[in-house]
Structure 1
Amino acid sequence: MKEPEIHQAGVRDVEFGAGVKIVEPCNLYGCKIGNDCFVGPFTEIQKGVVVGARTRVQSHAFICELVTIGEDCFVGHGVMFVNDTFSTGGPARGNKELWRETVIGNRVSIGSNATILPVRICDDVVIGAGSVVTRDITTSGTFAGNPARRLLADE
């Protein structure tokens, strides 16, 4: 029987700002974490990700390559970011040319267990827990559902 290739989880090649707090175990590599951020346990933040100052990333979140998160944001427990749109009818299988980026503005709160596909989200947005964001959000407000839609003030 052939032995598996084993990669250790940990914190490596990360550019940290001042006052950052992380709770292990977590897997952070090749990313940039701004000043006064918090990263909870069982979180993975991949290569090239940028997390803006004063942003909180709660436990069990997955932030894949090609994601940028603004300042003063909140990423709830179990939030999943996706960079592969399965544009060929299946997974990209490591072909990064098929991946797409996600850009999150400032003061964005993303509720627990939300899924964020490759989109752009403007400043001052709230994403409800369990929502699936499939399209760009260009207007501030509260969005929820699958797919996420803007909630009106009286809802």
Structure 2
Amino acid sequence: MYTPKQLQIGIKDVHFGPDVTVVNPVNLYGCEIGAECFIGPFVEIQKGVKIGAGTKVQSHAFICELVRIGQRCFIGHGVMFINDLFQNGGPAGGDKAMWKSTNIGNHVSIGSNATILPVAICDHVVIGAGSVVTKSIESPGVYAGNPARKIRNL
């Protein structure tokens, strides 16, 4: 019988602003969480991620390296951020030079189970649940679908 290598889940090397709420279990490391944020259970936020003040990240979200999220945003349950586009037909294999960044503006709401590829999203955008954002969004509004398209103005 073999014993698996076990890694501990938890919080390590995180810079928190005041009045942050974290619901365990979480896996947060090397990131920055602004004032008055909420981080739900079963969330992973990787190193180098910056989350602005007043942002709420709901359960089961995955926020990978090279992501910046603005102030007063809402990240729904199960939202996945992607930084590796498999440019060579497969995973980058840890080659961070092949990863791409994502920048989310202020007052952006991302619905449950959306997938966000490496893009920039401007302020005042709503992304519908289950949407896949494949291109940058430069105009405020409501976006939904796969790929996400603007469906109306706010």
Q: Does 1:145 align with 2:124?
A: no
Paired letter, 1:117: L
Map 1:26-105 onto structure 2 (within 5 A): 26-105=26-105
Deviations 1:107-144 (A, max 9, x none): 00000000000000000000000000000000000000
Q: Does 1:117 align with 2:124?
A: no
> Kindly tell me: are residues 96 and 2 of structure 1, through their superposed partners in 2, closer, same or farther at Cα, counting changes over 3 Å?
farther
| TM-score, normalisation: structure 2 | 0.97
Which structure 2 segments of 5+ residues have no match? none
Return the alpha-carbon distance in structure 2 between the equivalents of residues 48 and 125 of structure 1.
24
Return the alpha-carbon distance in structure 1 between the equivalents of residues 152 and 29 of structure 2.
39
Pairwise CA RMSD: 1.0
Return the alpha-carbon distance in structure 1 between the equivalents of residues 112 and 60 of structure 2.
10
Paired letter, 1:39: I
SS at match of 1:97: helix
Which structure 1 segments of 5+ residues have no match? none
Paired letter, 1:89: G
Count of matched residue positions in the alignment of Structure 1 and Structure 2: 153
Return the alpha-carbon distance in structure 2 between the equivalents of residues 19 and 71 of structure 1.
15
Deviation at 1:93, TM superposition (A): 1.1
Give the structure 1 partner of residue 19 of structure 2: 19
Identity %: 65
Return the alpha-carbon distance in structure 1 between the equivalents of residues 117 and 148 of structure 2.
11
Deviations 1:6-55 (A, max 9, x none): 22110110000000000000000000000000000000000000000000
| TM-score, normalisation: structure 1 | 0.96
Give the structure 2 partner of residue 126 of structure 1: 126
Return the alpha-carbon distance in structure 2 between the equivalents of residues 28 and 66 of structure 1.
14
Paired letter, 1:127: I
